[in-house]
Amino acid sequence: MSRSGGGGRRPDSRHDQPTQAPAPPFQRGTDRGSHYGSGAAPSSSHAASTSTAPAPSSPSISASAPSSSSVSTLVEETEQKLTLAALAAATPPPSSSQAVGFPVRPGFGTVGRKCVVRANHFMVQLAERDIHHYDVSITPWVTSRKINRQIISQLINLYRLTDLGERIPAYDGMKSIYTAGPLPFESKEFIINLPDSDPRPSSSTRLRERQFRVVIRLASKPDLYTLQQFLRRRHFEAPYEVIQVLAVVLRAAPSEKHTVVGRSFFSTDLGPMGQLGDGVEYWRGYFQSLRPTQMGLSLNIDVSASSFYEPILVTEFVQNYCRDLSHPLSDEVRLKVKKALKGIKVVLTHREYNNSHKITGISSQPMSQLMFTDDSATRMSVIQYFRERYNIALQFTSLPALVAGSEARPIYLPMELSRIVAGQRYAKRLNERQVIALLRATCQRPREREENIRMMARANAYNEDTLVNKEFGIQVADDLTSVDARILPAPMLKYHETGREASVNPGFGQWNMINKKMFNGGRVEVWTCVNFSTRLNRDVAFQFCQGLVDMCNSKGMVFNLRPVIPISSSNPNQIEKALVDVHNRTTQQGKQLQLLIIILPDVSGSYGRIKRVCETELGIVSQCCQPRQASRLNMQYFENVALKINVKVGGRNTVLVDAVQKRIPLVTDRPTIIFGADVTHPQPGEDSSPSIAAVVASMDWPEVAKYRGLVSAQAHHEEIIQDLYKSIQDPQRGFVHGGMIRELLIAFRRSTNFKPHRIIFYRDGVGERQFSQVLLHEMNAIRQACASLEEGYAPPVTFVVVQKRCRTRLFPAENNRCDLTDRSGNILPGTVVDTEICHPTEFDFYLNSHAAIQGTSRPTRYHVLYDENRFTADGLQVLTNNLCYTYARCTRSVSVVPPAYYAYLAAFRARYYIEDETSAGGSTDGNRSTAERNLAIRPLPVIKDNVKDVMFYC
């Protein structure tokens, strides 16, 4: 549930939406204010309808045939079916035939108060070097980057002064090395022997296992000149190969010293560590990434913390799941333990050598019953083996054994003799207690975080590193970069005229509901409450509902004072039965339940089940409340829950004054639909779980405050949204169109009586390397969805990627100025940067739209990949910032534009629908291929229409 902080309510969860009847097609001449009736392309009709509208010509998606048949086929289909060829390119063509041309920056923003901030970007200077890329082949093949680095390090030590021509290569840990000049050969083979980590007498077989054949072959010659031309804006495709070389050089030394996780490094030497509970601890470290910017190359450095397994005995770890180890594990606990331990490396404590074993599972039998056949073909028990071989009497014989090795030759390891190897990242989802502990331990105010970043950069001593500075001629600045910024003004927010305050101008990114009424109060006639908490009696539940209903009415809703059936308390072990009973009792009275208030059980874990039953089986819109909060009868909590309830029954809490008065450029001049889209992926190891895509779209115009959401399951870790548009050949109905974009366009038409004349698409969750692929596929889907509704229907689209996990941090240049910082010492909400640290040529910006509740605020990066609407820098920056004040669940501006935020919430809600099905049995068989797993994608439970039609995810 939500908590409030400062002067406003902070973001929380839950969501809703209305029923969809069969939608009318986009007929000619039936659209109010629309000139699309003739079926002509919108480029001409737009100009006819509104003289101030921009021409839809804009950067086109382009690719040429010779480079990639798949890309060219896609573009040819797009041009033929969707008339993209008619949209002339307004930017220089991409310099690569395989590239997608993104729009160039339309200028720099000027709106807002100017200021200076410091960014955690350290500028990088390069010397002229003749870079060579060599492929590395190591036989036998090794998956461990750590061992690979040991092999290449040994090779450099042995042959640097001779065969390597005194060069010091930079190695990426897998298949590539880079040199600042040519090696004396184009291809050469080396034999490298590594010392065996096992000190036992070695056999000839073991010696061969530690001998490696290394073949180095010239692969390419990355040219620094292309990078220089790109940074000087004379080349329009980022030379990622060259940037990758330099990144590998800068990562070489820390990769050998620290534990590598993605682009971050962690170590017990990089700061204090601490316990998170349940056998998990956190380590501190730092993130670094090399980025091209307007000022040149920049090294983005940020402090980090991540969770790791504690190096404890497995029996200690298992005690987090089962306190009493003297009895066999139940089937449920055994599955949980198996899932938690699978893939972890352990070492045996009773042996002098420390070879590690990777856990593949746990035995189905306890060790007291577990038998195996030893090397001499003797059948014996695990207990007998350890007693006779090592004189060890195992203590926890009721526990299963750990299983390592292969299925054909399993190795059984007693839990009490197995210690978890240190430095293994805990990649599973942290529970609530662990998350809170991690946040408390790592939360840093801006001034402290900035100084820690400086300390990390100094400790790395890039300019003193022989490989970085002497060999490759790279110099890294000593301090953070000062950057010009602007502080955008907060928008005026509109509330209902009957309130004492009909509008508000938020200060410092927050406001409150005092003296205000919701812009559109929803109506709730049929409702009731079910209490699943055993520590709240019926009287407290009644008082809670009474206080909540009174608050809803006082804020402008029309909320019936009497529940349709009496408020009841139910057994938390019979949740489904209680929900079905409430539904049936209401239906028997001939009424449709509009809202069910649910006080959750005292023990967490039932929320997902409740939402699945309510939203996909019974068609009930619900509002869940924590028993701890419900018992307090707190007015501020009532306000917060009332905000959520209102949008779940079709109301709107607040809208932008400029929207009501139609003063938002490229939004309110003609019907505009704003989409948000996101894809969430399952936790590592959850191979049986699909990725979930969610798309939301505004259903009101010009206010753009009410969003309808759709969700869809797709292949495991598939990033491109597959169900934006789809079509099938039906034997009876013929060619049938479908997909989320089409359904939402029809719903917008039904809701507003307008066809969208313009589309703005905020796409979350896309990495830079995926930009081209995602844009090509998803723009094609948008075009197909539009064309399927009406011939020639192709409204102009602006496609913006939202990167909420960017690692750029902005700090006040002057910490003591009240006009430049908030009470937490952070930069002010509305701070925007589109110079210096942004892309050299493309249309992107960093926006800090919120006030941090704790710690350091995190700006979001917005990158425009396609823009037929021809936004100015100010136009898109101000629109995005203003939308961040319309988030329905709190009276604060939020850090991510609401349509993208809502899409994330909708996808997260859908994950609840299936988590019980996919988590009970643990991971799938590791031997199954990705293709096999993808074939088994189970569709999500279908959300009932009456639920889908409201913002149920809020």
Q: Cα 255 vs. chain centroid, distance in angstroms?
A: 25
Q: How far apart are the first and last CA of the chain?
A: 11
Verify that 872 and 784 share a domain, yes or no: yes
Q: Considering only CA atoms, which of 125, 127, 145 is closest in space to residue 136? A: 145
Verify that 697 and 759 share a domain, yes or no: yes
167 vs 577: CA distance, rounded Å = 73
Verify that 674 and 586 share a domain, yes or no: no
Q: Considering only CA atoms, which of 122, 147, 434, 435 is closest in space to residue 287? A: 122
Q: Which residue in the block uniquely carries the two structure tokens 């074939």? A: 935
SS percent in the chain: helix, strand, coil, step 5: 30, 25, 45
Verify that 707 and 743 share a domain, yes or no: yes
Q: Residue 855 carries which DSSP code? A: S
Q: What is the CATH number of the domain that holds 393?
A: 2.170.260.10
Ramachandran assignment for 576, one of left (phi > 0), alpha (psi -120 to 50 degrees), beta (any other): alpha
Amino acid 347: pLDDT: 95
Amino acid 916: pLDDT: 59
Measured CA distances, 824 to 259, 304, 784, 828 (Å): 33, 20, 48, 10
Amino acid 49: pLDDT: 34
Contact 266, 308 (CB under 8 A): yes
Q: Cα 220 vs. chain centroid, distance in angstroms?
A: 35
3-state secondary structure of 922: coil
Q: Residue 141 carries which DSSP code? A: -
Q: What is the pTM of this model?
A: 0.87
634 vs 198: CA distance, rounded Å = 64
Cβ atoms within 10 Å, residue 338? 22
In a domain, 536, yes or no: yes
774 phi and psi angles, rounded to 5 deg: -65, -45
78 vs 312: CA distance, rounded Å = 57
465 vs 475: CA distance, rounded Å = 10
Amino acid 565: pLDDT: 96
How many domains does one find in the chain? 4
715 phi and psi angles, rounded to 5 deg: -55, 150
User: Low-confidence residues of the chain, pLDDT below 50?
Assistant: 1-7, 9-10, 12-25, 27-99, 198-208, 917-935
Q: Considering only CA atoms, which of 450, 351, 330, 346 is closest in space to residue 404? A: 346
Contact 81, 75 (CB under 8 A): no
Contact 458, 301 (CB under 8 A): no
Verify that 621 and 662 share a domain, yes or no: no
Amino acid 8: pLDDT: 52
Verify that 720 and 734 share a domain, yes or no: yes
Amino acid 936: pLDDT: 61
Amino acid 683: pLDDT: 81
Amino acid 197: pLDDT: 57
Amino acid 724: pLDDT: 97
Verify that 575 and 675 share a domain, yes or no: no
100 phi and psi angles, rounded to 5 deg: -100, 130
- Residue where a domain terminates, one of 373, 397, 421: 421
Structure tokens at 590: 């001939």
Q: Which residue in the block uniquely carries the two structure tokens 């030759």? A: 409
Q: Considering only CA atoms, which of 333, 300, 272 is closest in space to residue 119? A: 300
In a domain, 837, yes or no: no
Q: 438: part of which helix (H) or strand (E)?
A: helix 432-442
In a domain, 362, yes or no: yes
Verify that 533 and 640 share a domain, yes or no: yes
Q: What is the pLDDT of residues 525-549, one digit of tens each?
A: 999 999 999 999 889 999 999 999 9
3-state secondary structure of 71: helix
Q: Considering only CA atoms, which of 190, 186, 140 is closest in space to residue 160? A: 190
Amino acid 378: pLDDT: 81
Amino acid 55: pLDDT: 38
Contact 359, 395 (CB under 8 A): no
3-state secondary structure of 59: coil
Verify that 715 and 702 share a domain, yes or no: yes
- Residue where a domain terminates, one of 603, 631, 651: 651
List beta partners, residue 494: 503, 655
Q: Which residue in the block uniquely carries the two structure tokens 């017990």? A: 268
Q: 910: part of which helix (H) or strand (E)?
A: helix 898-919
In a domain, 831, yes or no: no
Q: 234: part of which helix (H) or strand (E)?
A: none
774 vs 781: CA distance, rounded Å = 10
Q: Which residues fall within 8 angstroms of residue 117, CB to CB, at 6 or more apart?
A: 482, 483, 485, 810, 811, 812, 813, 827, 831, 833
Verify that 574 and 672 share a domain, yes or no: no
In a domain, 439, yes or no: no
Q: Residue 464 carries which DSSP code? A: G
In a domain, 349, yes or no: yes
Q: What is the CATH number of the domain that holds 557?
A: 3.40.50.2300
Q: Domain range for residue 579?
A: 521-651
Q: Which residue in the block uniquely carries the two structure tokens 């100017």? A: 114
Q: Considering only CA atoms, which of 232, 212, 244, 67 is closest in space to residue 148? A: 212
Cβ atoms within 10 Å, residue 501? 15
Verify that 639 and 716 share a domain, yes or no: no
149 vs 834: CA distance, rounded Å = 40
Listed in sequence order, the DSSP H helices in 175-221 are 204-209
Verify that 621 and 714 share a domain, yes or no: no
202-207-212 Cα angle (round to 5):
155
36 vs 30: CA distance, rounded Å = 10
401 vs 693: CA distance, rounded Å = 39
In a domain, 488, yes or no: no
Q: Residue 514 carries which DSSP code? A: T
Q: What is the CATH number of the domain that holds 726?
A: 3.30.420.10
353 vs 355: CA distance, rounded Å = 6
Length of the chain: 954
138 phi and psi angles, rounded to 5 deg: -110, 125
- Residue where a domain terminates, one of 651, 677, 702: 651
201 vs 769: CA distance, rounded Å = 49
In a domain, 280, yes or no: no
Residue 318 is which amino acid?
V
